[in-house]
A = this chain, B = another copy of it.
Amino acid sequence: MSSQIYHAIARRKLNTLQSLIPKNWLLDPLPEPLPLDVRPLVPKSTVLTPDELSITSSHDVTSLSQLIHSRALTSEAITTAFCKRAAIAQQLTNCLSEILFLPAIERAQALDAEYKRTGKTRGPLHGIPISLKDTYNIKGYDSSIGMASLAENPAKENAALVDILLEQGAVLYCKTNVSQTLMALDSHNHLFGRVMNPRNRRVTAGGSSGGEGALVAMRGSVLGIGTDIGGSVRIPAMCNGLYSIKPSSQRLPFMGQEIGQLPGIDKLGLQASAGLMTTSVRDCELFLKAIADANPWEKDPNVAFGSWEGQGEIRRKPLFGVLRADGITTPLPPVAKVLYETVEALRTAGFEVVEINAPGFKKYHSLANSFFGMGGFNHTFDLLERTGEPLIPWLDTRLRRKSPADLMQLSELHVRKSTLEKEMLGIWRDEKGRMIDALICPVAPHPVPEIDRWNGVGYTSAFVVLDYPAGTLPVRDVSNDDLMDELPESDVLGGWDSRNRDLCKLSSFVSPIILSCTPLLHVLNTWFPLPSGVEAVVNPVLQDYTDPSKTGHPNTNDRSVYLNTKLSVQVVAPRLQERRLYQAMALIDEVLHGASSESP
C-alpha cells in the first residue's frame, strides 16, 4: 500500500497537535543550534511568569497538594503553569501526543469552584495536573500510540485509571509520545517523531513511555503515568533521572488502554503494569495510596483488592540484598560503581546488605523475549500495512512476521515461567534464612546510552515475568571518573554482553584525557548524531535536528556521551508489596540524598 496514507495522517495529526499550543506559548524562534541540555531554555523564555516557573520548578505533588488545600494556590494557576511548561517541553523534546490544555484549565477552574463551595477537596490529587502515556483512553481523544492506522479514532470511553483520576480530582492536560508498537526502547514513531532527552540530546529518552519521561524531566509534568511490560516505565525514568515505580500488574488499573496488540492476547503471556514517574520518592506513596483509597478493584476487575496499608512494609531494621549482575550482560563500570556506592552508603548508615546469588536470573531475558514474540507480531504488521506505514528503523531490523505460538508452545512458556517463579522465591531469604526486605540491582547493564542503542531489557523484564514491584531511584550524575574503568575482555559472556561492551569502547578520537575536559565536550555534543538510515516523519520544529542529511554520523563510541546523564539503581520487592518497595526506596533515597524529597 502506498505510504501516502500514513504520511497524510501523520501530517494532519502533527498539525492538530501543533495547533493546540497557543501562539504565545511558542518559543519562536527556537534557539539554533539547540544546546545539549535544553532544560535551561525554560527559565530563559518569557512564556512562563516567575510564579509559573516557581510552581513548576520547585514542587512535587505532595507540596502542590498542600498549597491547594491551604488555598495558597489554585488548581487553575498550577494547571496553567504546567500546560505552558508542557507546551515548551513539546517544542524542545517532542514529548506530547495529545493536548487537552483548554479543557484542562476549565476543569481546574471548576475544581477550584467546587473546593470554594464545599470546603472539601476530593483528596491529595484534587486540582493536580497529571500526564498520561498515549495508551490510556480518554473519551474524545485518540490513543494512536504513534501508529497511523490507530489515529483519528477518538476513544469512546475512559480507561479505568482515567475515570479514577477524574473522580479523585486530577486534571488531565496531555498525553505523551511513545515508541511505535510500544516494543522499542526509544520513543520514536512516524506520527510524532522522536522524543528527545531534555538533559542530553545525544542520549535516548527511553521507551516506550519516553514522552512521559522527557515531559517530567522538563518539569512539564509533576507526575506521569506510563505502562511497563519490559521496562517501559523504569527505562525512561532512568534515562530522564526520575523516580519510578512499576507495581505488580494487579495493583493499578490497566484496563481501557490501546496497546496495539491482538485483543485478549495480553492475557496469554506477561501482564503489563501501569506505573508512575515522579520527581520525588514521597509522591510515589501519595499516588499509590490515593489510587488504593479509591477502590480501583471496583473499576477494573483485574486489580487486586487491598488497601495501601495492606501492601507490605519493611522491618524497622531492614536487610537488603544486592544482585550485581544478571549473568547475561555484565554491568559496565559506571553502573557497577553506582550500585557499589549505594550498597556502601547503606552499610555506612548501619544497614546490612547481603549478596544475592540468583543463577536463575539469566534465564529471564530469553523467556521474556519469547513471551513478547508469541503472537508473531502479526497484529502489528496488519496495523502498519493498513496505511502503508513502515517500521521505525530500530524495529525494522528486529521485527518479522512469524507464525503465532500454538497452545503447546504457550503452555511450555508458562511451565518455564512457573519454574523460575518458584526458584526465585529463594532470593528473599539469605543463607542464614533471614528475610530480605528489598533487593537492589541495576536498571540496565549500561548508563543511559545514545539514541537507539539500548541493549536488552533483561534487568527490567525479569521483574515483569516475576510480577514483582520494582522502582528506579536516581543516584547521581555520571562523572568523568566513572568513564575511566575497563571491563576485562576475557570475561565476555556472549552476544548481549559483547554488544553491551561496545557501549563503552573508546573511539580513537576521544581519549581519557579529553574526557576530563567537560566544557569542550559540551560544545562537541551540541549536535547529536542519529543512526544512519533514519527516515521518520518528524515534528517540523525539530526537523533540523533529526534530519539525517545533516548528521549521518555513526554511533560515536564516545564515552563522554554519558556525561550529563543520571546513574540510577533499581529497587525490587516481592509481588504485590508496593508499600514495602516504597519504604525501601524512601530509606535508600534518604541514605543517599538526605531528607531532601526532591529529585537530586
A contacts, CB < 8 Å to B: 250, 255, 262-265, 267-268, 297-302, 304-307, 310-312, 374-375, 404-408, 410-415, 417-418, 421-422, 424-425, 428, 466, 574-577
Contacts of A299 on B, CB cut-off 8 Å?
425
From B300, B304, B415, B421, A576 is in contact (CB under 8 Å) with B304
Q: CB distance A305 to B264 under 8 Å? A: no
Having A250-B304, A299-B425, A301-B424, one finds 16 other A-B pairs with CB under 8 Å, namely: A255-B422, A265-B414, A267-B417, A268-B268, A268-B407, A268-B414, A298-B425, A298-B428, A301-B418, A304-B576, A305-B576, A305-B577, A404-B406, A406-B406, A406-B407, A407-B410
Q: Can you give 15 A-B contacts (C-beta < 8 A)?
A: A262-B408, A262-B411, A264-B411, A264-B412, A264-B418, A267-B414, A297-B576, A301-B421, A301-B466, A306-B306, A306-B576, A307-B310, A374-B407, A405-B407, A407-B410
Contacts of A428 on B, CB cut-off 8 Å?
298
Contacts of A255 on B, CB cut-off 8 Å?
418, 422
Taken together as a complex, chains A and B put the C-alpha atoms of A302 and B467 apart, in Å, by 10
Contacts of A576 on B, CB cut-off 8 Å?
297, 304-306
Chain B residue nearest to A426 (CB atoms) is: B298
Q: CB distance A408 to B404 under 8 Å? A: yes
Q: CB distance A407 to B298 under 8 Å? A: no
Taken together as a complex, chains A and B put the C-alpha atoms of A411 and B307 apart, in Å, by 31
Minimum distance in angstroms from A343 CB to a CB of chain B: 24
Chain B residue nearest to A265 (CB atoms) is: B411
Minimum distance in angstroms from A514 CB to a CB of chain B: 50
Tally of this chain's copies = 2
Taken together as a complex, chains A and B put the C-alpha atoms of A574 and B301 apart, in Å, by 9
Minimum distance in angstroms from A54 CB to a CB of chain B: 41
Taken together as a complex, chains A and B put the C-alpha atoms of A375 and B415 apart, in Å, by 15
Taken together as a complex, chains A and B put the C-alpha atoms of A424 and B411 apart, in Å, by 29
From B312, B406, B412, B415, A305 is in contact (CB under 8 Å) with B312
Taken together as a complex, chains A and B put the C-alpha atoms of A301 and B414 apart, in Å, by 13
Taken together as a complex, chains A and B put the C-alpha atoms of A139 and B408 apart, in Å, by 28
Contacts of A262 on B, CB cut-off 8 Å?
407-408, 411
Contacts of A265 on B, CB cut-off 8 Å?
407, 411, 414
Contacts of A418 on B, CB cut-off 8 Å?
255, 264, 267, 301
Minimum distance in angstroms from A428 CB to a CB of chain B: 7
From B267, B301, B422, A301 is in contact (CB under 8 Å) with B422
Minimum distance in angstroms from A325 CB to a CB of chain B: 23
A298-B428, A407-B374 as given contacts; A574 in contact with B264, CB under 8 Å = no
Minimum distance in angstroms from A394 CB to a CB of chain B: 26
Contacts of A311 on B, CB cut-off 8 Å?
305
Contacts of A405 on B, CB cut-off 8 Å?
407
Chain B residue nearest to A405 (CB atoms) is: B407
Minimum distance in angstroms from A421 CB to a CB of chain B: 4
Minimum distance in angstroms from A495 CB to a CB of chain B: 28
Chain B residue nearest to A295 (CB atoms) is: B435
Contacts of A425 on B, CB cut-off 8 Å?
298-299, 301
Q: CB distance A305 to B267 under 8 Å? A: no
Taken together as a complex, chains A and B put the C-alpha atoms of A472 and B306 apart, in Å, by 24
Chain B residue nearest to A406 (CB atoms) is: B406
Chain B residue nearest to A311 (CB atoms) is: B305
Chain B residue nearest to A250 (CB atoms) is: B304
Taken together as a complex, chains A and B put the C-alpha atoms of A496 and B414 apart, in Å, by 35
Q: CB distance B301 to A310 under 8 Å? A: no
Q: CB distance A375 to B305 under 8 Å? A: no
Taken together as a complex, chains A and B put the C-alpha atoms of A425 and B302 apart, in Å, by 11
Contacts of A264 on B, CB cut-off 8 Å?
410-415, 418
Q: CB distance B421 to A575 under 8 Å? A: no
